[in-house]
Amino acid sequence: MSFFDRFRKKNDAGTAKKEVAKDVKKDAKTKTAPAVSGGSCYTKTAESISTAQLPAADLGELLPGAPPNGKINLAIYWAAACGGCDVSLLDINERILTVGDMANIVMWPIASDGKEHDIAAMEDGEITVSIISGAVRNTENEHMVKLLRKKSKIVVCYGACACFGGSPALANLVPGGKNEILDYVYKKIPSTANFQADYHKNSPVIPQTKYAAPEGELVLPTLYDTVRTLDQVIDVDYFVPGCPPLQESISYMLKAVADFAYGGVPLPPKGTTIGVVTRTLCEQCPRRKEYRRITKIVEPHEIDVDPELCLVDQGILCLGPATVGGCNARCTRAGQPCRGCYGPTTAVQEQGASALTAIASLFPVLDEDATMEEDKVIDIMSTIKDPLGYFYAFTMGKSLIKKSVTEKGGK
């Protein structure tokens, strides 16, 4: 018996044993709780694979040289975004090397040259695809996305910020708008506060949007009071949600573009959201659901997280019940609650309101409930800190009430 044979045999015995153990466990489970679904978080069960339902995003071989009708033009742009979406585009692994064969990258601020005036000099529709990530929150963002829309055949709204506003849109909740934000950032946070105190004690410096230099006027982009999503500013053809979108979504998008460029295969209908399923994240999450009641909200680091039990059952605020599936529950498999970056399901507009409904219903009915004062209920619900920021972490830009308001008082 060679070394490898021995190894193989041992391995086989190991899996056989495991399977038996699993069967026993399964039996035990079905006896005690018939409603239980899904298996362990660490093994890929047949169930978790079947619920993924993502179209096969296999590009097959690397892209075969240049398309028959010449290279297409590809622009990738970031508006108010962190850059994570740009980096995520590299998740298509070695295929990224052949994207250069398919397309001229005419603009990609994070990776290649290509200036605003180059784009402006192009014919309308000369760019085949523009992939734009990030929300729109200043004059430069707005100018560039409008320019790219004019020059592009297809615009892809890429990432949670572009689709729903994302984290930048939480700035809409600052009552004082851009002035309060600028004031805070340039005067109050410790690093700038010290700088201002050392060098500009009497008149703190806030960057001006216009400066008359001897050579001519210099202009900086002006911040807006309201952060908008991409489709609130320009017409958008496809949505790819996620923070950042997963490899499957990106491959699917790239495959659609490649099929179009090489074989003239028609693109998906306008307005398609790429990479999502119709049901919520819970459908893809392999954790065991016991539908427990919770009385206290905890953070994952405060407790010993059970690797197999539903996070909400353990008192961790997870937005899975209100978030559309498509990511195959990457975060919850790793023991982190869902923050909702894939946005709401198609049935609702408000992801935050759905999450709020789901979570509030988990608080148990108490014996004293019939005689309880309303203040007591508020005390119970106050265990959720910052509900607005938590439930709308990614979707403030698309929520029904998009901005903080100020009561003016009666007459």
Partner 1 sequence: MSEFEPKIVAFCCNWCSYAGADGAGVARLQMPTNFRIIRTMCSARVDPEFILRSLAKGADGVIILGCHPADCHYIGGNYRARRRIALIRLVLEQYGFDPKRLRLEWVSASEGEKFQKTLTDFVNTIKELGPTPLQQEGE
List residues near partner 1 by CB under 8 A. Answer: 173, 175, 348-350, 352-354, 356-357, 359-361, 363, 365, 369-372, 374, 377-378, 380-382, 384, 386-389, 391, 399-401, 403-411
Instruction: For the CB of residue 377, give the shortest distance to partner 1 in the complex, in Å.
Output: 5
Please, which residue, 2 or 382, has the CB nearer to partner 1? 382
Nearer to partner 1, 28 or 348 (CB): 348
| DSSP assignments along 169-211, one per residue | GGGGG-TTHHHHHHHIIIIISHHHHHHHHHH-SSS-----SEE
Closer to partner 1 by CB, 69 or 406: give it.
Answer: 406
Minimal distance, residue 356 CB to partner 1, in Å: 5
Nearer to partner 1 by C-beta: 190 or 409?
409
Give whichever of 11 and 349 is closer to partner 1, judged by the CB atom.
349
Q: What's the min distance (Å) between Cβ of 222 and partner 1?
A: 20
3-state secondary structure of 136: strand
CB of 295 to partner 1, least distance (A): 12
List C-alpha distances in Å: 386 to 300, 353, 375, 392, 397.
17, 14, 18, 10, 17
Distance CA 18, CA 25 (A): 10
Partners of 104 in beta bridges: 73
Instruction: Tell me the pairing of strands 223-228 and 136-138.
Output: antiparallel
Of the candidates 350, 89, 133, the residue with the CA atom closest to the CA atom of residue 230: 133
**What does the block give as tokens for 159?**
């990432």
Asked if 154 contacts 126 with a C-beta cutoff of 8 angstroms, the reply is no
Q: How far apart are CA 232 and CA 224, in angstroms?
A: 14
Name the token pair of 362: 């988990």
Q: How far is the CB of 302 from partner 1 (least distance, A)?
A: 21
> C-beta of 224: minimal distance to partner 1 in Å?
14
For 222-268, the DSSP string reads PEEEEEE-GGGTS--SEEE-SSSPPHHHHHHHHHHHHHHHHH-PPPP
Residue number with CB closer to partner 1 (74 or 356):
356
Provide, rounded to whole angstroms, the least separation between the CB of residue 180 and partner 1: 13
User: From its phi and psi, is residue 30 left (phi > 0), alpha (psi between -120 and 50) or beta?
Assistant: alpha
Residue 118 or 369: the one with the smaller Cβ distance to partner 1 is 369
In sequence order, the 6+-apart residues with CB closer than 8 A to the CB of 24 are: none
Q: 82: how many CB neighbours lie within 10 A of its CB?
A: 17
Q: Report the residue number, 194 or 361, with the smaller CB distance to partner 1.
A: 361
Instruction: Residue 153: name the closest of 116, 122, 185, 195 by CA.
Output: 122
The smaller minimum CB distance to partner 1, of residues 242 and 340, is found at 340
Residue 220 or 401: the one with the smaller Cβ distance to partner 1 is 401
Closest to 333 in 3D by CA, of 355, 307, 302: 307
Question: Smallest distance from the beta carbon of 379 to partner 1, in angstroms?
Answer: 9
- Cβ 333 to partner 1 shortest distance, Å: 28
Contacts of 210 (CB under 8 A, 6+ apart): 217, 218, 219, 220
Strands annotated E in 372-411: none
Beta bridge mates, 15: none
Q: How far is the CB of 375 from partner 1 (least distance, A)?
A: 9
* Type of residue at 317: L
> Encoding tokens for residue 175?
């009552």
Minimum gap (Å) between residue 236 Cβ and partner 1: 22
CA dist 236 and 162 (Å) reads: 10
In the complex with partner 1, the residue whose CB is nearer, 181 or 353, is 353
